[in-house]
A and B are shown apart, each in its own frame.
Chain A
């Protein structure tokens, strides 16, 4: 009779399938977006090292784009950083929502570099069905793969930028919202997600009255808080 799998084997049983899953449609969306970013960095006159560092260590496209755009304008680096931090402030609620699924020990901090919208959104769909002892391995497999795709795509984008039309790059960037829209739409059967999506869409016009850097987070805070209260009101 076979011995039951040990902890490492459990982890491996989740890590590899998660890597494979990340190499499907999520990789396509990541590659398109980060390739476009790499090309945009090259067009703005920044080096390859800067582009790859931004993609791998910021790893949050709205903040990356805000920083890139703001550094080219007068006003200095600090306002550029403040705007980019605000644009990526969604990392806080995302990490809060993800943390309970990764276990209570310090090992959950291994996931820190990989918390971004694509791994987060897929993790929120998959982790509830993954056995507790395999969840961190699943996230690390998916996250590491997505992170690697992001870095390689940035490299390629920076190298091939002179060959690409700006209109083509815009189309590549549009893959990202399309992909996130599909992920949300796929989960609309869950009342909790449906309420958050409806009120997030309804709150989007707030972006027109809020300072640009805070627009997205402001809309999310209002829409998400109302959705949360709605869910509490109806009891689930």
Chain B
């Protein structure tokens, strides 16, 4: 097994352990238990931070998209969500605005 394969195997095992630990610990708790509420709050805040960083200060491939394109895409998606609701139209509007503005900049 190569080092790259070993790294992947270790990560797979760690991810399964993290998921399993969460299911094991909270399986007998109610959805309104403070520990469960705290965990849900942390998970949602993590998601919000992820979205914020991806739009404002991304790393990796996302840096190839100019910030104007990322912000325009995000604003367009939110605007269409507020206007029409749903997920498909806002997502397509966001992607279209991202591509359009990125090409113009």
Interface residues of A (CB under 8 A from B): 24-25, 28-29, 36, 40, 46, 50, 53-54, 57-60, 62-63, 65, 67, 69, 71, 76-78, 80-81, 84-85, 88-102, 104, 108-109, 111-113, 115, 117, 120-121, 124, 128, 166-167, 169-171, 173-186, 192-193, 195-201, 203-204, 207-208, 212, 215-217, 219-225, 227-228, 231-232
Q: Mark B49-64, 1 if CB is under 8 A from A, else 0.
A: 1111111110111111
Q: How far is the CB of B17 from chain A (nearest CB, A)?
A: 9
A53 touches B49 (CB 8 A): no
- Other-chain residue from B11, B43, B55, B85 in contact with A63 (beta carbon distance below 8 A): B11
Contacts of B20 in A (CB 8 A): 95, 109, 112
List 22 A–B pairs whose Cβ atoms lie within 8 Å, in order of A's numbering: A36-B61, A57-B16, A63-B11, A71-B4, A91-B18, A94-B22, A94-B43, A109-B23, A174-B54, A174-B70, A178-B73, A178-B74, A179-B87, A184-B51, A199-B48, A204-B49, A204-B52, A219-B45, A219-B46, A219-B49, A221-B42, A225-B38
- Other-chain residue from A46, A57, A200 in contact with B4 (beta carbon distance below 8 A): A46
Q: How far is the CB of B54 from chain A (nearest CB, A)?
A: 4
B51 touches A90 (CB 8 A): no
B61 touches A173 (CB 8 A): yes
Interface residues of B (CB under 8 A from A): 3-8, 10-12, 14-16, 18-23, 25-31, 33-57, 59-65, 70, 73-74, 77-78, 81, 85, 87-88, 90-91, 94-95, 98-99, 102
Interface centre among B18, B64, B78 (most CB of A within 10 A): B18
Contacts of A96 in B (CB 8 A): 22, 25-26, 35-36, 39-40
Contacts of B5 in A (CB 8 A): 50
Bound-state Cα–Cα, A69 to B60, Å: 9
- Other-chain residue from B33, B57, B62, B85 in contact with A207 (beta carbon distance below 8 A): B57
B45 touches A199 (CB 8 A): yes
Task: Contacts A216-B49, A219-B45, A220-B46 given; indicate if A81 touches B14 (C-beta within 8 A).
Answer: yes
Q: From B88, which residue of chain A is reached at the shortest CB distance?
A: A25
Bound-state Cα–Cα, A212 to B26, Å: 29
Q: From A83, which residue of chain B is reached at the shortest CB distance?
A: B11
Bound-state Cα–Cα, A33 to B73, Å: 16
Contacts of B60 in A (CB 8 A): 65, 69, 173
- Other-chain residue from A59, A100, A178 in contact with B94 (beta carbon distance below 8 A): A178
Contacts of B18 in A (CB 8 A): 85, 88-89, 91-92, 95
